[in-house]
Chain A
Amino acid sequence: MRAQDQAAAPADSSPTVTGNPPPDARPLTEAQEGLWYFQALDPANPILNTGQYLELTGAVDLAALREALAQTIAESQALHLRFGAGADGPVQWLSPDPVTVSETDLRDHPDAKARALAMMRQDTDRAIDLAREPVAAFALFLLPDRVFLYERIHHLAIDGYGMVLITNRIGEHYGHLTGQAPAPLPFPSLTRADDEDALYRASDRRQTDAAWWRAQMAGLPGVTSPGTLGGERAISAHEFRRESLWLPPALTASLAAFSQAHKLGWPDVLTALTGAYLARWAAGDDGDGEAVIGMPFMARMGRKIARLPCMAMNVLPHRIRPDEALPLPDWLAAEAQAMRESRKHGLYRSEQLRRDLGLIGGARRLYGPLINVQPFDRPPVFPGLDVQLHILGAGAVEDLTFTFRGDPDAGILFETDANPGLYSSDDTRAHALRLIAFLTAALQAQRLLDVPSASPAEIAADDARAKATRQDLPDVTLVDLILAQMQASPDAPALRDQTQRLTYAEFDAQTAALAQSLIARDAGPESIIAVAMERSAALSIALVAIMRAGAAYLPLDPDHPPERLAAILAMAQPLLTLTSPEIASSLPPDATLLLPDAWPKSTPATPLPRPAINGDSLAYVIYTSGSTGAPKGVMIEQRAIVNRLLWMRDHYGIGPADRILQKTPATFDVSVWEFFLPYISGAELVMAPPGAHRDPTAIAGLIAEHQITTLHFVPSMLSAFLAAPASDGLQIARTFCSGEELTADQRGRFHARIKGELHNLYGPTEAAVDVSYWPATSEDRSNPLPIGWPVWNTRLSVLDHHLRPVPPGMPGNLYLGGVQLARGYLGRPDLTAERFIPDPRASEIGQPDSRLYATGDVAKLRPDGAVVYLGRSDHQVKLRGLRIELGEIEAAIMASGLARECVVLAREDRAGEKRLVAYLVPEAGYAPGLLAPRLAARLPAYMVPGSEVTLAALPVTANGKLDRKALPAPEFHASGRDAATGAERLLARLYAEILHLDAPAPVEADFFALGGDSLSAVRLCLRITEETGRDPGLGTIFENPILDMLAAKLDAAGPTDDGLGPLIRLAQGAPDLAPLVLIHPAGGLGWGYRGLARAVSRDSNRSVFAIQHPGLNPEQPLPESLGSLATRYADLINRAQPLGIIHLAGWSVGGIIAQELAAELSQMGREVGLLALLDSYPTDVWRDEPEPDPVAALRALLAIAGYDPEAHHDLDTRAKVVAFLRAGDSAMGALPDLVLDGVVRLVTDTNRLVRSHQHRHYDGALTHIRAGRDHQDRDLTAALWQPYAGAVEALEVPFVHAEMIAPAAVALIAPELTKRMA
C-alpha cells in the first residue's frame, strides 16, 4: 500500500479506471480476507455497505460542516481503498480518485425526511464495484429544521469502531473549525494496520492462540439457532429485518444493579444471558442445549491501530451451555471469566479457525447468532449542536444479530437484526420481545432453571387457549346418551353388516337382552368384560351391551398371537370373554368364555334398569404396546369418552343423516368413536366385513354401496386408498385421519380425488382417542400439517424437559391435560405415575388436582397456537447433526410420480452408519436410478435417500399402521463410485490436482472435507473456467462441495462452453468412439437432451453433442430454409469431428433436420451411422394443415420447458408465457432474457422452415421411434418416411410426443440407440 504516514491526501497516481490492481497493491489483512470472500461469493450483495446517518439540530454552520467532512475524508486513508483479485489472492490499493460527497437541499420538500431516507436507502442498497468505485460515500441532506449527515462505507474498509472514529472525527473538525475545540491529532497511517497484521501473523502468539481455540472448540456440536432448527443454511441475504426497541429502564437498572452487586461487567452479563436464551433453542428433548454465539471483538486494545479507522474487528465464537441449576451469579461469573479468556486470544481470526476445524461449505459453521454489545456507541459530539445517531446497516446478517448500543445509564438501544430467509418479521419481533422478557425474568431469578423460555405474554396466551376450550358437560354416561337416542328414533336404522340391518328399537332389544345376561353373570360397575370377536353387527351389540350392564369392555384382537392374548387376559383378569367358537381356540383354556350360542334369544320380561355408573366409572380398557415389552392397559372413564364424543357430534354436526363406517380394529382406540358416535347421534353404523380395512378397493366399494358419510383412515392407509383406482371421484362428507402424521402431500392428493372434508385428529389412547383437530381443507397450505387445536375441556402444553412452557417455534415435549385423560394403566400404578404427572402449573391455573400426560411426542406451537407434531422424542431422525423431516422426503418421492406409496426410514444397519432408505411401491414409469436425480433437484443432498427398496405393498400392522419393523434392510452399494460423466471425470481430476490427492476423487468426495478452503475453492473455480471456458461461480462450489452434486450443477448449466454455443458437449466419452450428435427441437436449445445424452454415454461410453440453433442469439439472422440450416450444421460437425462415423438423432423438428443433415453429410462423403428420429414426421404431413396461430407456437414452448400446455390454457400471450417460465424452476426459465427471446423467436420461425421444406432422399437406414400413446386421431407412422430413406426401421415406446426425452422414455430409448451404434 502506497501511503505516506499521516498523509492529508493519498498520493497515488497509478491508473485505477480499469480496476486492475497497480503493481504495488498490497495483500489484504487477515481481518479483511473473510469479508472479501463473502463479497466475492455474491458480488451483487450490498449488505456489506455499512451505513448510518447523524441527525444534527441547532444552528448548523454548513460551511464548517462541509469543511470538517472534507478534512476527515482527506485524512482517512481507509476511505480511499480499492480492492481486487491479484495473482496470489485479493489485494488492496489506494486510489487518488475523490470520494463522493453529495449535498441535497430538501428545505422546500414537502416530505423531506422520507425523501432523504429513501435516497440513503437507495444508496445503501446498491452493491459497489470494489475495484472501480470508492468504498465510501457521504451525503448532506438539508432539511427545513435539521441536517442529516449520511455515511456509507464498505465493511472491507472499515469496522464498527472505525466508523465511530470517523464520525467522531467529523465532529472534532467541526468543533475546531467553529472555534469551539482544539484541532484533533491526525489519524495514524493505514500502514499500521498492515504492520499489526504482519506482526501477529508472524508471532508465536498466533500459534498459541490457534491451539487454544482448537482445544476450546473440541467436540463442537452442530451449530444451530432458532431459525435453522431444520438444518437450513445461514447465508446472508441482500437485506435484513430489524426490530429496534429500547430496553425498558427497569431492565437496564436491574442489569446495572445486578452487575455491580456481583462485580460483573454488565456487557458480559447481557451477552451471557442472551446466550442462555439461545441455548434454550439448541436444547434436545431430554437435555439442556449448547449455543455457539459469535461475539464481535474490536481487536484494537493495546494495539497501534487503536485509533485507526480500518477493518480490524473479529468475531469470537463462544460456547454457551448453561448449568441451569447453578446460582445465577456463579454461572455468570464463570461465563465472564470464559469470555475474558477468549478475548485474550481474540486476535486469532475466526475465518482461520473455521478452516482449521473444517467448518466450511454446506451448512457447517463456527457460530450461530451474533451478540454485539457496543457500550461506546453514543452519538458523536458536534459542539453547539444536538446530535442523534441512526444506524442503517452494520454488515452481513447471516442468522440473527442482537445488538445492544449504549449503556445502562444513557439507555440501551436494542436492535434485533434477522436474515429474512430464516425469520419472518413476526419471528424477529417475537424474539426481540421475548428476549427482553427473558432478561427481565433472569435478572430476578435465583437460577436459570426458574426462567421459562416463553414470555409471560406467551404463557398467558397458552392459558387463554386452554380456557377457551371449557365447555359445560351434562352429567351423563355413554349409556344415558345411547338410551336417549333409542327412545328418540326407534324406527331409524341403527346398525348393519353384510347379513342384517337393525333399527334402534331392535338394537335396543338385543343389547338389553345381552346386558341382562351379563348382569346375571355378575357384570356391573368397574367389572371388565373382554371381547374377542370378528367385525360384525354382533361385535357392536356386545360392546353396547357391556356398557348397558354398567361394565367396561376390553377389546382383544383375534389376529394377535395367542401368547399375547393370554398375557393380556392374565393382567386384566376380566370377568368373562365374549368370543366365537373359531377364536376361542386362540384363548387360554382357563378363560371364562361366553359364546354367541349362549346369548339370550328373547327380550327380557322385565325392563333393564339403568346401570349405577357415573362419569368416574370405567368405560373401556385398551392395551397398547409398552416400551418395556409388556402391553399396558389404558383405563378410560365415562366422562372422558363422553367429552370426546359430544365434542365430535357437536363440532362436525353428526346427525341422523350420517352413515359411519366401522372398519378400525376394536383394539385401536379410533374404533371407539366409530362404535359409539352413531348411537348418540341417531346415525347408522355400517360394519365393514372382517379384513376389509386393509383392502382399499373393498373400502371404496363399501363407501359407494352404503353412501358412507363419515369414516377414518390411518394416513398410510389413506395413501393406499388414494392410489387405488376405485377411490377416484368418491364423495365422502368427512374423512378423519389420525394415528400417524398426515402430510401435506396426502392432503393434496385427497382433495384431487375425493369430494368432501378431510380432518386431521391427534391423540394417544391415554387421552380418550383424540385431543386435537385440524381441518385439512383444500385451501389449507400448512406444511407441516398441524395436529391443531385442543378439543373441549382440553389443554395441549408444549414444555421443555424441565417442564417449562416453550414459545412458538421451539420444539418441546407435548403434554396433555383435561377431562379426557385416562385414569391410568390397569394394575400398573408405577407406569401411571411415570406418565401422568401433577401439572407443574396446577395452582397458577386454579386447578390444584390437574394432571398432565406425557405423550413422548415432540411438538411445537405455531405463532397462532396450533400445535405441530414433529416426531417421537425417542425416534428423532438426525443425520450428520441435521434434523430431517422424513415427510418432506416422502412428499418429494410422491411428487416425482415414480411411486404409488412410499416411506423413508433412517436406518442404522451398520453401527454408526445411519442412512436414509426409501421404501416404495413403484409407479409404471419407475426404473432404478431415476429417482435420486429427481430428488436431488428438490432436496438438499443430505436428504436424498442413499438406497431405494421397491415393494409390492408397504407392510402394515394389524391396526393398519405402517409396520416399520417389517421393512427389510437394504443392500447398500459400496461407497466411492468412480466418476462417470464428463463433468464428474473433470472434477475428479481437478479435486485431485488442487487437493493433492493420490488418485482421482470419487464422486462422493466433499471438497472441503478433503482439506479445501476458500482459497483452493477459488483455484478450483479458475481451473474449471480454464478447462470448460465457463465460470461456474464461486458460490456454486461453496453450495455444492460434493463432487457429483457440483458435476450436476455444471451439467445443468451446460457441460462445456457457455451452454448456448452452436455445438455443446452433453457428455464426455472415449475419444476413439464415434460420437452421437443430437439436433435441437423447435426451440433451438439442445439442453433438453441432457438426460438422453447421459444415459447413452453411460451405456456406450460415447461422447454426445447437441447442435443448437444459431438464432438463439437474436442478433443472428434467421436461416433462409431448413436446408441452409442443415448445411451450417454439417460444417459445424466437419469442423468439430473431421473424421470418422457420425451418429445422428433428433426429436420432433430435430428429427426432420437430422434427416436432412444425414443427406447433406453423406453427399459430402461423410459416413452416417445411426439416424434416429424420435417421433418426427415428414413435412408433407403438416403442409396441408391450417397455419398454427402464434399462440400455439408459444404453447409449444411450454412443452419444451417440461410443462403440460394443456394444463395452462390461461397462458395465451407471449408476456404471460415468459412470466410463467420465469417464475418456474425449469432451465428454460433461468435463461438470460436475450436467449429466452431467441427461443421464443425460434419456436415461431421453425414452423415457417418446416412448412417450406422439401425432403431429399437419404440413402442410408432411418430408425424411427414413435410415441405410441399419441396421435390417436392421425395416422402418423414411420412408414411416412419410406420415400425419403433407403430403409426405415419402426420402433415404438408407450409415451406421448412431449415425453419422448423425459427420463422415463429415455430409459427405454437410450439402450435402443446404443445398440444401433455398436
Chain B
Amino acid sequence: MTVTLEKMRADIARLIDLEPEEVGNDDHLPDLGLDSLRLMQLVTAWEQAGLKADFAVFAESATLGEWWDAIQAQAPR
C-alpha cells in the first residue's frame, strides 16, 4: 500500500486550500471545510493508489487520526 498518513494529510490539505501542517490528526475535517464531494474525490484517488478500506470508515469518522487508525486496523488482513 502506497498511501501514507502524510500523503493523506497532504491530499486533504490541497483540496481544502490549507497547508498540510494545518490539518492535525484530531481536527474535525468537516469543520476544516471538507465536504462530501471532496471526500469522495479523496477516497476515489486513494483507492486508485491501492488503498483498501471500507468507505464507511471515512464517512462515519471525522478526523484523520480515526481514519488512519481504522486503516491500520484493517491493514494486516
A-contact bits for B27-50, CB 8 A (1 contact / 0 none): 011110111111110000000000
| CB–CB B54/A301 < 8 A | no
User: Which of these binds chain B: A303-311, A681-689, A1136-1144?
Assistant: A303-311
| CB–CB A307/B59 < 8 A | yes
| CB–CB A298/B60 < 8 A | no
Q: How far is the CB of B26 from chain A (nearest CB, A)?
A: 13
Interface residues of A in 1288-1306 (CB under 8 A from B): none
Contacts of A302 in B (CB 8 A): 28-30, 59-63
Contacts of B62 in A (CB 8 A): 301-303
| CB–CB B37/A301 < 8 A | no
| CB–CB A300/B59 < 8 A | yes
Q: Taking the complex as formed, is A375 at the interface, i.e. its CB lies under 8 A from any CB of chain B?
A: yes
CB closest residue in chain A, given B34: A301
Q: How far is the CB of A726 from chain B (nearest CB, A)?
A: 74
A301-B40 contact in complex given A307-B56, A307-B59, C-beta closer than 8 Å: no
Q: Taking the complex as formed, is A961 at the interface, i.e. its CB lies under 8 A from any CB of chain B?
A: no
Partner of A307, one of B28, B36, B60, B63: B60
CB closest residue in chain B, given A304: B60
| CB–CB B17/A263 < 8 A | yes
CB closest residue in chain B, given A267: B37
Contacts of B36 in A (CB 8 A): 298, 300-301, 376
| CB–CB B60/A303 < 8 A | yes
Q: How far is the CB of B28 from chain A (nearest CB, A)?
A: 7
Contacts of A301 in B (CB 8 A): 30, 34-36, 39, 59, 62
Contacts of B17 in A (CB 8 A): 263
A-contact bits for B2-33, CB 8 A (1 contact / 0 none): 00000000000000010000000000111101
Q: Taking the complex as formed, is A265 at the interface, i.e. its CB lies under 8 A from any CB of chain B?
A: yes
Q: How far is the CB of A848 from chain B (nearest CB, A)?
A: 48
| CB–CB B59/A306 < 8 A | yes
CB closest residue in chain A, given B35: A343
CB closest residue in chain B, given A303: B60
Between B33, B39, B63, the greatest number of chain A beta carbons within 10 A of the residue's beta carbon is seen for B33
Contacts of A306 in B (CB 8 A): 56, 59-60
CB closest residue in chain A, given B33: A340
Q: How far is the CA of A1209 from the CA of B64 in the complex (A)?
A: 81
Contacts of B60 in A (CB 8 A): 302-307
Q: Taking the complex as formed, is A344 at the interface, i.e. its CB lies under 8 A from any CB of chain B?
A: yes
Q: How far is the CB of A990 from chain B (nearest CB, A)?
A: 44
Q: How far is the CA of A298 from the CA of B60 in the complex (A)?
A: 13
| CB–CB A340/B35 < 8 A | yes
Q: How far is the CA of A344 from the CA of B54 in the complex (A)?
A: 24
Chain B interface, number of residues (Cβ within 8 angstroms):
20
Contacts of A343 in B (CB 8 A): 30, 33, 35
Q: How far is the CA of A307 from the CA of B60 in the complex (A)?
A: 7
Q: How far is the CA of A301 from the CA of B60 in the complex (A)?
A: 7
| CB–CB A185/B54 < 8 A | yes
Contacts of A263 in B (CB 8 A): 17
Q: How far is the CA of A1072 from the CA of B29 in the complex (A)?
A: 72
Interface residues of B in 54-72 (CB under 8 A from A): 54, 56, 59-63
| CB–CB B30/A375 < 8 A | no
CB closest residue in chain A, given B36: A301
B-contact bits for A283-307, CB 8 A (1 contact / 0 none): 0000000000000001011111111
Q: How far is the CA of A301 from the CA of B61 in the complex (A)?
A: 8
CB closest residue in chain A, given B60: A306
Chain A interface, number of residues (Cβ within 8 angstroms):
18
Q: How far is the CA of A931 from the CA of B65 in the complex (A)?
A: 71
CB closest residue in chain A, given B66: A302
| CB–CB B56/A185 < 8 A | yes
Contacts of A265 in B (CB 8 A): 35, 37-38
Between A300, A302, A303, A343, the greatest number of chain B beta carbons within 10 A of the residue's beta carbon is seen for A302
Contacts of B31 in A (CB 8 A): 344
Contacts of A344 in B (CB 8 A): 30-31, 33
Q: How far is the CA of A752 from the CA of B35 in the complex (A)?
A: 65
CB closest residue in chain B, given A407: B37
Q: How far is the CA of A254 from the CA of B59 in the complex (A)?
A: 30
Q: How far is the CA of A303 from the CA of B30 in the complex (A)?
A: 10
Q: How far is the CB of B56 from chain A (nearest CB, A)?
A: 5
Q: How far is the CA of A306 from the CA of B35 in the complex (A)?
A: 13
Contacts of A307 in B (CB 8 A): 56, 59-60
Q: How far is the CB of A319 from chain B (nearest CB, A)?
A: 19
Q: How far is the CA of A185 from the CA of B34 in the complex (A)?
A: 26
Interface residues of A in 399-448 (CB under 8 A from B): none
Q: How far is the CB of A562 from chain B (nearest CB, A)?
A: 73
Contacts of B40 in A (CB 8 A): 375-376
Q: How far is the CB of B59 from chain A (nearest CB, A)?
A: 3
Interface residues of A in 91-133 (CB under 8 A from B): none
Q: How far is the CB of A1042 from chain B (nearest CB, A)?
A: 42
Q: How far is the CB of B40 from chain A (nearest CB, A)?
A: 7
Interface residues of A in 948-974 (CB under 8 A from B): none
Interface residues of A in 322-341 (CB under 8 A from B): 340
Contacts of B61 in A (CB 8 A): 302
CB closest residue in chain B, given A373: B37
Interface residues of A in 368-415 (CB under 8 A from B): 375-376
Q: How far is the CB of B47 from chain A (nearest CB, A)?
A: 15
Contacts of A376 in B (CB 8 A): 36, 40
Q: How far is the CA of A263 from the CA of B33 in the complex (A)?
A: 14
Q: How far is the CA of A300 from the CA of B61 in the complex (A)?
A: 10
CB closest residue in chain A, given B63: A302
CB closest residue in chain B, given A340: B33
Q: How far is the CA of A263 from the CA of B37 in the complex (A)?
A: 14
Q: How far is the CB of B71 from chain A (nearest CB, A)?
A: 16
Q: How far is the CA of A301 from the CA of B33 in the complex (A)?
A: 11
Contacts of B54 in A (CB 8 A): 185
Q: How far is the CB of A262 from chain B (nearest CB, A)?
A: 12
Q: How far is the CB of A996 from chain B (nearest CB, A)?
A: 38
Contacts of A300 in B (CB 8 A): 36, 59
Between A301, A307, A343, the greatest number of chain B beta carbons within 10 A of the residue's beta carbon is seen for A301
Q: How far is the CA of A236 from the CA of B61 in the complex (A)?
A: 36
Contacts of B34 in A (CB 8 A): 301
Contacts of A305 in B (CB 8 A): 60
Contacts of B56 in A (CB 8 A): 185, 306-307
Q: How far is the CA of A691 from the CA of B63 in the complex (A)?
A: 86
Contacts of B33 in A (CB 8 A): 340, 343-344
Q: How far is the CB of A1118 from chain B (nearest CB, A)?
A: 69
Q: How far is the CA of A267 from the CA of B39 in the complex (A)?
A: 14
Q: How far is the CA of A344 from the CA of B32 in the complex (A)?
A: 8
B-contact bits for A339-364, CB 8 A (1 contact / 0 none): 01001100000000000000000000
CB closest residue in chain B, given A343: B35
Q: How far is the CB of B45 from chain A (nearest CB, A)?
A: 15
Q: How far is the CA of A300 from the CA of B28 in the complex (A)?
A: 13
Contacts of A298 in B (CB 8 A): 36
Q: How far is the CB of A264 from chain B (nearest CB, A)?
A: 10
CB closest residue in chain B, given A341: B33
Q: How far is the CB of A381 from chain B (nearest CB, A)?
A: 14
Contacts of B39 in A (CB 8 A): 301
CB closest residue in chain A, given B31: A344
Q: How far is the CA of A265 from the CA of B15 in the complex (A)?
A: 10
Q: How far is the CB of B53 from chain A (nearest CB, A)?
A: 12
| Residue positions of B touching A, CB distance < 8 A | 17, 28-31, 33-40, 54, 56, 59-63
| Residue positions of A touching B, CB distance < 8 A | 185, 263, 265, 267, 298, 300-307, 340, 343-344, 375-376
23 intermolecular pairs with C-beta atoms under 8 Å apart: A185-B54, A185-B56, A263-B17, A265-B35, A265-B37, A265-B38, A267-B37, A300-B36, A301-B39, A301-B62, A302-B28, A302-B30, A302-B60, A303-B60, A303-B62, A306-B56, A306-B59, A306-B60, A307-B60, A340-B33, A343-B30, A343-B35, A344-B31
Given contacts A265-B35, A302-B30, A302-B61, 15 further A-B contacts (CB under 8 A): A185-B56, A265-B37, A300-B36, A301-B36, A301-B39, A301-B59, A301-B62, A302-B29, A302-B62, A302-B63, A303-B62, A306-B59, A307-B60, A343-B30, A344-B33
Q: What 4 A-B pairs come out closest when comparing CB atoms?
A: A302-B62, A306-B59, A306-B60, A340-B33
